[in-house]
């Protein structure tokens, strides 16, 4: 978890706090989707096993929920420095080198996220133009699966650019380094 009080002062600038709030708020809402999915999948098991009446919607809606939730939490992972990283060498490096590596990381994330958001957007428009749908009873339009890619990666790009600006212009670094994997 973040310890805002330890962060350099620029991180408490209203604009930065607004971004933090937005990114974390979206991530929290999205996280609850997983709990909701757990509930509807349990419902599916019960109606199938007990009442022998499987649903038409649980499997597909769960996947859709998973897609939305996961893409929308990506930016928060960067915000909280929760991105699995081999920290061995970068931790051992001096402050200047590790700041430089961090800047490269932010720039790389921003560039990749923009590219993915853009091509995701093009794919989405393509599915809209030909009316692409899933061949299931729900027959969901495919854009509902592509939209979260666009939103999620756009948000990630904004977060990465903000971190880059904070680091390069104000020299402000978050307290937490990136972290190794905790599974």
Partner 1 sequence: EDRTLRVATSVPQHHYLTRAIQTFADRVNERTDGEISFEVYPAQSLVTDQQMDQAVANGTVDIGIASASILAGTIPAFNIFAVPFYFDTREKLDHSVTRGNPIRTTLDEEIEKKGLHAAFWIPYGSIAMVTRDKPVHVPDDMKGMKIRTFGSTVSEFVEAVGAAPVVTSGGEQFLALQRGIVDGGLTGWSSVTDRRLYEVSKYVVATDHMYETHFALMSSGVWDSLSPETQKIFQEVGEEMESELMDEIFTVNDKAKAELSEKMDVIELTDAEKTQWKEATRSVAEHFYESGDDVSKTVFEEAEKVQ
Partner 2 sequence: MESLFVLLALLALLFAGIPVGIALTATGTGLLLLKGIPIAGVPEEFLASFNSFILLAVPIFLLTSNILLKAGVAKDLFDAVQRWVGGIRGGVAVATIISCGIFAAISGSSVAVAAMIGTVAIPEMTRRGYDRPFVMGTLAAGATLGILIPPSIPLIVYAAVAEESTASMFLAGIGPGLCLVAAFLVYCLVKSHRGGAPETGDAMDDPRSRLTLSIKAAPTIIIALTMIGGIYAGIFTPTESSAVGLTMTLVYVLVLRRSLDFKGLREAVVGAGLTTANLLLIIGGANVFGKALLLYRIPFEISNWIATNIETAGLFVLIVTALLLVLGLFLEGIAMILIVLPVLLPSLGVNGIDPVWFGIYFVLMIELALITPPVGMNLFVIQSVARSDLNEVIRGVIPYVVIMMGMVALIYYVPSIVLYIPFSG
Residue 32: which of partner 1, partner 2, none does it interact with, CB under 5 to 8 A by kind?
A: partner 2
Q: CA-CA distance, 43 to 53, in Å (whole number)?
A: 11
Work out which of 18, 45, 125, 138 binds partner 2, going by CB under 8 A.
45
Residue 182 beta carbon to partner 1: minimum distance, rounded to whole angstroms = 28
Work out which of 41, 60, 90, 121 binds partner 1, going by CB under 8 A.
60
State yes or no: residue 56 binds partner 1 (CB under 8 A).
yes
Q: Which is nearer to partner 2, 20 or 178 (CB)?
A: 178
Which residues would be at the binding site for partner 1 (CB under 8 A)?
48, 52-54, 56, 59-60, 119, 122-123, 126-127, 130-137, 139, 142
């Amino acid at each position: 978890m973040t310890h805002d009080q330890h962060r350099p002062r620029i991180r408490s600038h209203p604009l930065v706090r607004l971004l933090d709030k937005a990114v974390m708020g979206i991530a929290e809402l999205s996280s609850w989707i997983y709990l909701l999915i757990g509930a509807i999948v349990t419902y599916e098991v019960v109606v199938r096993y007990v009442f022998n009446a499987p649903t038409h919607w649980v499997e597909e809606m769960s996947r859709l929920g998973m897609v939305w939730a996961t893409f929308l939490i990506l930016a928060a992972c960067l915000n909280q420095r929760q991105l699995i990283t081999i920290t061995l060498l970068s931790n051992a490096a001096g402050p200047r080198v590790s700041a430089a590596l961090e800047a490269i990381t932010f720039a790389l994330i921003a560039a990749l996220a923009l590219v993915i958001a853009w091509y995701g957007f093009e794919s989405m428009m393509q599915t809209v133009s030909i009316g692409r749908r899933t061949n299931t009873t729900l027959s969901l339009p495919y854009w509902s699966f592509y939209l979260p890619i666009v939103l999620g990666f756009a948000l990630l790009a904004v977060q990465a650019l903000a971190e880059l600006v904070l680091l390069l212009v104000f020299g402000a670094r978050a307290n937490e380094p990136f972290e190794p994997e905790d599974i």
